[in-house]
Structure 1
């Protein structure tokens, strides 16, 4: 009985460990996907913000020059 019990627990632990490692892999995959998406999103947002601010500055400087010449 005692030996069989040990074997049973060994099997249970192995199963539990395999399940846990599978879950961890799954979590890692999800986190990497989220990380990649976040990086892409951040990059595009920064680029757009930069373009917006650049165009805004350009317009303002053009307006200032135009007003000075009037």
Structure 2
């Protein structure tokens, strides 16, 4: 036995790996956003939303992070 059966990626991992480098449409109702899958640590994935620069939701998030809030 060569051990290959012990090294199969989990089904979710295979899906995330297939999405790496892809622009997934959507992610915000207020702009023409897209999403990407990023690896934050081995086996840990995050979905990043990329908003338009003029997006009101994005501007509110930035303002809140810098103490401006709504």
Structure-2-length-normalised TM-score? 0.26
More strand, by proportion: 2
More helix, by proportion: 1
Structure-1-length-normalised TM-score? 0.26
Larger radius of gyration: 1
